[in-house]
Chain A
Amino acid sequence: MGAIRGAGSAGPPETRGAGSAGPQRVMDPELQNLQDSSAFASEVSEGRLVTEEMLLNVGPQHPATHGVFRLLATIDGERIVRAEPVVGYMHRGYEKLVEQRDYRQITNLISRMDWLSGINNELPLALALEELMEIEVPPRAQYLRVALAEMNRILNHLMFFQSFSAELGAITPTFYAFREREDIQYAMESVTGGRMHFGYFRPGGLKEDVPKGFIAMALAAVRKVIQRLPDYEDLLTGNEIFKQRTINVGVLDKEVAYSYGVSGPIGRGSSIDMDVRRDEPYLVYDQFDFEVCNGTHGDCFDRFWVLLHEVVESAKIVEQALAGLPPGPIMGKVPRVVEAPKGEVYVRTENPLGELGFYLVSDGGRRPYRIKIRTPSFSNVSALPHALQNTLVADMIAILGSFFFVLGDVDR
């Protein structure tokens, strides 16, 4: 054993010491020809030099996959020929579980779908029930719902800012993003007691009113975000390495995005000008000034740009909602037992990652007959193979990161 290792490291004597007078080994003239770059290129282009495809398995446990997600990539050298996402490692069967529970229990269950935007997940169910039961929600509850939903959007997008830049090798944004997140998180915690899963929206209103001092605390937190975010943008968008790694990388075509139902910031990055908050305003979104951010090329940089700029727009909405918060009750007239009348309705909201829709079928009972949950990440991830095709292995992490999906939302 030791003798073999020793022989290997020393190497055969005739290959070393080319300058000595001893015996020399000369390169095969055919190989020397190949070193001529033009000859080598023609070998590849004319197909005389055959390369072999290789199957690369990424995940299910990989730091870049935000959960348990597996990607089967067929690679040819450094190029990804095909990529096939494999999902289902976190399938919990929410659509079946909700059929066995009454509506109050479901609110807390569905909060766990997309764990980065807990309070946004609760919204469409409350809206669907209010639509079927014809409940009027008092204005104070609507304003608070908007404020909290947008605060959760800021939390989600700052998490993207952190994870995406960390995946591209920049460490500093992590500390800045978590500093801002903590202030907002603290304000939300004072309202609900939770940090991820809030269980705060009820059909007809809210669980309880916000505590004293919340408005000042939340306003201070979002104003800090508005003030500091331009600096964070400069940190990355002016960085040459960041630009090289994201511009024109992982382009998702607009027509492909339409046919896959890609929505939210990922869709807007591909210039799908669509935002439920503006197009079909729910709650009181029509009373606030905000802009919808749209990309132009559909590459990683556009998706990053859209997600980052939405933080400021969300912060502006929070500011307006809390500054104009009307007094009054926080709960509408809701029967003690929530029973939706017979009927079906599709209600959708703008979740941080895209369009979250609930198709609720009720047969008049305390439990829903069927709820189809249309989650944004599911549709977004199904379009991944198109963005990954013909890219380089080194760009894979940037593309996966820029799609920003949450696996709990894909698998449900």
Chain B
Amino acid sequence: MRLEADDALDRVKGALGERVTDAHLNHGQVDVTVEPANLVEVLTILRDDIALGCRFFTFLSAVDRSTFNFDDDNEQGGLEVLVHLYSPEKIWHVNLHVPLDFDTPVCPSITGVFKGAEWHERETAEMFGIHFTDHPNLVTLYLSEDFEGHPMLKSFKLPARSYVKDWPGAKDPDEAAAGGR
């Protein structure tokens, strides 16, 4: 039984109430903002509520918005954890945005709700420097253990793109049209 996006939003608002700070639609999918303390409870409701039925764990990741080009110059982006769930029976999506403190990012582990989040959290931890509390085995997944820094943060520059000389030709069609090579 397919659930339309508007109905899904109403049901999410009804079921989660005060536990989420914001809920709206974005390109046909429900976007909610959750404080880290409520994350596990919200995910449990989304999974177990039969009217919602988000049993399929799609992914967990993070976004570093510290260099995001906001319309309002005064707005400053931070770090957020992003969780995506999907309901295979009702066919609707929910994106959970979990804003974290940028300097000491800590987020509760969701491996108690979705076991499959284990690898996703390990990857996010090493790439963004986020600590997931109560994670059963928070070791590095891709990087070597002596790797310094967190590569997916915007402050981490790729050496190949920051220290070497600029590419001599035109990078964009516009530059080429303006007389570049």
A contacts, CB < 8 Å to B: 87-88, 91, 93, 95-97, 100, 102, 131, 256, 258-263, 272-274, 279-280, 336-337, 342-346, 348, 355, 357, 359, 361, 363-366, 369-370, 372, 374, 378-379, 382-383, 411
Instruction: Report which of A95, A260, A343, A344 forms a contact with B115, defined as CB distance below 8 A.
Output: A260
Complex formed: what's the CA distance from A211 to B37 in Å? 58
Indicate if the CB atoms of B151 and A260 lie closer than 8 Å: no
B172 within 8 A of A: yes
Partner of A364, one of B61, B69, B84, B161: B69
Residue B20 at the A interface, CB < 8 A?
no
Which of A87, A274, A369, A372 makes the CB contact (< 8 A) with B61?
A372
Q: Is the CB of A261 within 8 A of B91?
A: no
Residues on A with C-beta less than 8 A from B118 are: 382
Cβ–Cβ contact A345 & B55, under 8 A: no
Q: A223 to chain B: closest CB distance in Å?
A: 33
Known A-B contacts A87-B142, A131-B27; the reply to A382 vs B61 at CB < 8 A is: no
Q: Which residue of A lies closest to B68 (CB)?
A: A363
Report chain B residues within 8 Å CB of A259: 55, 57, 114-116
Of B56, B58, B63, B172, the residue contacting A102 (CB under 8 A) is B172
Q: Looking across the interface, which residue of chain A has its beta carbon closest to that of B54?
A: A258
Residue in B93, B142, B172 with the greatest tally of chain A CB atoms within 10 Å: B142
Q: Which residues of B lie under 8 Å from residue A91 when comparing CB positions?
A: 142-143
B88 CB–A CB distance under 8 Å: yes
User: B interface vs A, CB < 8 Å?
Assistant: 26-27, 29, 55-59, 61, 63-65, 68-71, 82, 84, 88, 91, 93, 95, 114-116, 118-119, 127, 140-143, 151-152, 156, 158, 161, 171-174
Measured CB to CB, the closest approach of chain A to B138, in angstroms, equals 15
| Contact residues in A for B141 (Cβ distance below 8 Å) | 87-88
Contact A382 B64 (CB under 8 A): no
What is the predominant secondary structure among interface residues of chain A facing chain B?
Answer: mixed
Residues B71 and A342 in contact, CB atoms below 8 Å apart: yes
Contact B151 A382 (CB under 8 A): no
Question: A382 with B116: in contact, given A100-B161, A345-B27, A357-B59 (CB under 8 Å)?
Answer: yes
- Please name all residues of chain B whose beta carbon is closer than 8 Å to the beta carbon of A370 when the two chains form the complex: 63-64
Residues A382 and B119 in contact, CB atoms below 8 Å apart: yes
In the complex, what residues of B have CB within 8 A of residue A343's CB?
Answer: 26-27
**A273 to B88, Cβ gap below 8 A?**
yes
Is there contact, CB below 8 Å, between A346 and B172?
no
Cross-chain contact of A280 among B91, B156, B172 (Cβ < 8 A): B91
| B69: chain A residues within 8 A (beta carbon) | 342, 363-365, 369
Report the separation of the CA atoms of residues A364 and B69 in the bound assembly, to the nearest whole angstrom.
8
Smallest distance from the beta carbon of B90 to chain A beta carbons, Å? Answer: 10
- Residues of chain B within 8 A (CB-CB) of A96 are 151-152, 156, 158
Instruction: Provide the residues of chain B in CB contact with A131, threshold 8 Å.
Output: 27
Shortest beta-carbon contacts, A-B, top 7: A260-B116, A88-B142, A91-B142, A363-B69, A374-B59, A382-B119, A372-B61
Besides the contacts A261-B57, A369-B68, A382-B118, what 9 more A-B pairs have beta carbons closer than 8 Å? A96-B152, A258-B55, A259-B55, A260-B57, A261-B58, A272-B56, A272-B88, A279-B88, A346-B93
Given contacts A91-B142, A359-B82, contact A258 B57 (CB under 8 A): yes
- A122 vs B61: C-alpha distance when bound (angstroms): 21
Q: How far is the CA of A304 from the CA of B61 in the complex (A)?
A: 31
A137 to B151, CA, bound (A): 36
Shortest CB-to-CB span from B44 to chain A, Å, is: 12
Which listed residue (B26, B152, B156) contacts A344, Cβ 8 A? B26
A88, A256, A374, A383: the one within 8 Å of B58 (CB):
A374
Alpha-carbon distance A361/B61, docked complex (angstroms): 13
Q: Which of A88, A273, A343 has the most CB of B within 10 A?
A: A88
A102 to B167, CA, bound (A): 14
Name the residue on A nearest B56 (C-beta).
A258
What is the chain A residue whose CB lies nearest that of B84? A346
Residues of B within 8 A of A372 (CB): 59, 61, 63, 82
Q: Which residues of B contact A366 (CB under 8 A)?
A: 172
* Residue of B58, B71, B140 with highest tally of chain A CB at under 10 A: B58
Question: Across the interface, do A346 and B29 meet the contact criterion of CB distance under 8 Å?
Answer: yes
Query: What would 30 A/B residue contacts be, using CB atoms closer than 8 Å?
Result: A88-B141, A97-B158, A131-B27, A256-B115, A258-B88, A259-B57, A259-B114, A260-B116, A261-B58, A261-B59, A261-B116, A273-B88, A280-B91, A336-B173, A336-B174, A337-B174, A342-B69, A343-B27, A345-B27, A348-B58, A359-B84, A364-B69, A366-B172, A369-B65, A369-B69, A372-B63, A374-B58, A374-B84, A379-B116, A411-B142
